[in-house]
């Protein structure tokens, strides 16, 4: 279980300090698929980075499986099964997909095992296992390989920040299928930051973040009409 208690984050800017996350409380059940959405600048990506440890909160705490991980580094959180997928996955010139998957898993891995992870994310293994992790890969290919590395690591909490960013419609369709398969397998808790209706529709629960707080949460059937109608208001935030 992931528990976030009274979390706050203030960042320095050109106009002084700005509070981006404000006393946010959120609890997510194990092996659930949660989509976090909301208006730009509402604090979604900042929240994801705080969970991973890429940013440090100015208040509150984060608990993962009943352990307070607030002060732990990114490396220590990764050892505890937390992983993060970036909007733009890094490229590694001179490193093959096979090498990357072995490094991600932290153990010796056969080519058959590597191919299995690639197949699970919808890639033809024989076409990718020996390819370099460089700019020859499309955005959609790189993102699905990144998901494969997170699966190979055995992550229990997977966080993806706007995985649809910068990819074409065909790649997005394949990416959606991949997330659907992960959800169906129920092997991990999945948090996806997204505005895309197709990803939102896959979720067990939607969490709306606005003004650095939880504005609303519920099933897609409960929340989608409010998103489409633009009815999330200041009153919603005060009631959250």
- Summarize the confidence of residues 216-237 as an average pLDDT: 70
Comparison of pLDDT for 89 and 53, the residue scoring more? 53
Instruction: Report the DSSP pairing between strands 157-161 and 189-193.
Output: parallel
Taking domain 2-237, whether its CATH number is 3.40.50.300 is answered by: yes
pTM to 2 decimal places:
0.85
Q: Mean pLDDT across the chain, nearest whole number? A: 88
The pLDDT assigned to 237 comes to 41
Comparison of pLDDT for 76 and 40, the residue scoring more? 76
Per residue in 188-212, pLDDT tens? 999 999 988 889 999 999 999 999 9
81: phi then psi, degrees, rounded to nearest 5: 95, 20
State the burial class of residue 31 (Cβ atoms within 10 Å of its Cβ: 0-12, 13-18, 19+).
Answer: middle
Name the token pair of 92. 């590694």
- Summarize the confidence of residues 141-148 as an average pLDDT: 87
Q: How far is CA 134 from CA 74, 104, 119, 160, 204, in A?
A: 24, 17, 20, 21, 35
Instruction: Using a pLDDT cut of 70, give the percent of the chain over it.
Output: 95
The strands making up 157-161's β-sheet, listed across from edge to edge, are 82-85, 157-161, 189-193, 33-37, 205-210, 213-218
- Summarize the confidence of residues 137-149 as an average pLDDT: 87
The pLDDT assigned to 13 comes to 73
Per residue in 21-71, pLDDT tens? 999 999 999 999 999 999 888 999 999 999 999 999 999 999 999 999 999
What is the b/e burial string over 122-131, where b = at least 16 CB atoms within 10 angstroms of the residue's CB?
bbebeebbee
The pLDDT assigned to 234 comes to 39
The pLDDT assigned to 169 comes to 80
Name the token pair of 218. 């519920």
CB 126 within 8 A of CB 118: no
Alpha-carbon gap, residue 124 to 93, rounded angstroms: 21
Which residue ranges make up each domain of the chain?
2-237
Per residue in 152-188, pLDDT tens? 888 899 999 988 877 778 778 888 888 888 889 888 9
The pLDDT assigned to 43 comes to 93
Residue 225 Cα to chain centre, angstroms: 24
pLDDT at 101 over 60: yes
The pLDDT assigned to 9 comes to 97
- Look at residues 207, 178, 90, 192 and name the one whose alpha carbon lies nearest to residue 137: 90
At 230, is the pLDDT very low, low, confident or very high (cuts 50, 70, 90)? low
Instruction: Report the DSSP pairing between strands 67-68 and 16-28.
Output: unpaired
pLDDT at 238 over 90: no
């Amino acid at each position: 279980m992931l528990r976030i208690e009274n979390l706050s984050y203030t960042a320095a800017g050109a106009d002084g300090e700005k509070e981006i996350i404000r006393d946010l409380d959120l609890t997510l059940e194990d092996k659930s698929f949660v989509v976090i959405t909301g208006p730009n600048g509402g604090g979604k990506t900042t929240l994801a980075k705080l969970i991973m440890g890429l940013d440090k909160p100015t208040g509150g705490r984060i608990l993962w499986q009943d352990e307070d991980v607030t002060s732990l580094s990114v490396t220590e959180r990764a050892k505890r099964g937390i992983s993060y997928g970036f909007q733009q996955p890094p490229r590694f010139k001179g490193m093959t997909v096979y090498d990357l998957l072995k490094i991600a898993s932290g153990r010796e891995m056969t080519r058959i095992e590597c191919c299995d992870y690639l197949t699970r994310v919808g890639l033809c293994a024989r076409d990718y296992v020996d390819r370099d992790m460089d700019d020859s890969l499309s955005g959609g290919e790189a993102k699905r390989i990144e998901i494969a590395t997170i699966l190979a690591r055995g992550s229990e909490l997977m966080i993806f920040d706007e995985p649809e960013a910068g990819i074409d419609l065909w790649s997005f369709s394949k990416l959606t299928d991949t997330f659907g398969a992960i959800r169906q397998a129920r092997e991990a808790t999945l948090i996806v930051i997204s505005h895309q209706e197709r990803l939102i529709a896959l979720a067990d629960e939607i969490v709306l973040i606005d003004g650095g707080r939880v504005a609303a949460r519920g099933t897609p059937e409960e929340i989608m009409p409010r998103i489409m109608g633009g009815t999330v208001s200041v009153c919603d935030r005060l009631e959250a």
